Amino acid sequence: MSPRTSPRILRASALVLSAAILVGCSNGSSSTDAAATESVPPVTTTETAGATTAPTPVAPASDGAAPSAQATDPEGLLPGQAGYRGASAPAVALNESSSTGDATVKVTSVEAIDVSGDSLAPGEIAGPALQVTISVTAGSQDVDLSGASATLTYGEDATPASPLRDAEGTELPSSVAAGETVTGSFRFSVPADARDKVTVSVTVVPGQPAVVFQGSAA
């Protein structure tokens, strides 16, 4: 009687063979993945020390504000300096009044004087001069007079007169209340024989047109 292979033995052999095939495939796959991983070069990044991205400049927003009020005239002079010729209202006679902003200005007197001694500040020259007294009346609101100034020219050539130190106690106050009037004086060196035509320009608030008064102070 020929020996016969047991069916159980055959099934067991088939299972062992299948397991061996699976293990082989798994090992092959792992080897392939490992090889692929080793074959890909590592990715590196390079940082440049101190490198920054420059910000894009942003233009400042415009609020429509006017330029600085303390503007120079075409010759580079400021209000109060001899020869300053900034924007001004039309000239009126010495005995008339003129308005600028919310203030009304009037020349109340032009007095011939001689300055010397203690009346002079360092650098000023003694001699004949004119003392111009003005009044400033505020309208519906207070007016700041801290920047108020005056200049004077004389003669047909409008020669700038050198300003002199104001007499003590005659200066304009720093402000005038609404509806009120204040006075102040300004002194200028003016030759006694050159007063047939004088022009007084008063700047109440820098940046606003000056008021101009013209006439004879002889």
Across all residues in the chain, what is the average pLDDT? 76
**Would you state the pLDDT for residue 11?**
58
Distance CA 5, CA 203 (A): 130
Reported pTM: 0.62
pLDDT at 5 over 90: no
Span 118-126, average pLDDT:
82
**pLDDT one-digit tens code per residue, 21-55:** 544 544 544 444 444 444 444 544 444 444 444 54
Per-residue pLDDT reduced to its tens digit, 161-182: 999 987 777 899 999 999 999 9
Q: Residue 201: name the closest of 69, 101, 76, 92 by CA.
A: 92
Q: Which two tokens stand for residue 86?
A: 């900034």
Structural contact between residues 139 and 181, judged by C-beta atoms closer than 8 angstroms: no
Contacts 24+ apart (CB under 8 A), 117-123: 119/164, 119/165, 119/167, 120/164, 120/165, 121/164, 121/165
In the structure encoding, which two tokens stand for residue 63, read together? 């609020």
Domain annotation for the chain: domains and CATH numbers: 92-215 (2.60.40.1240)
Phi, psi of 151 (to 5 degrees): -130, 160
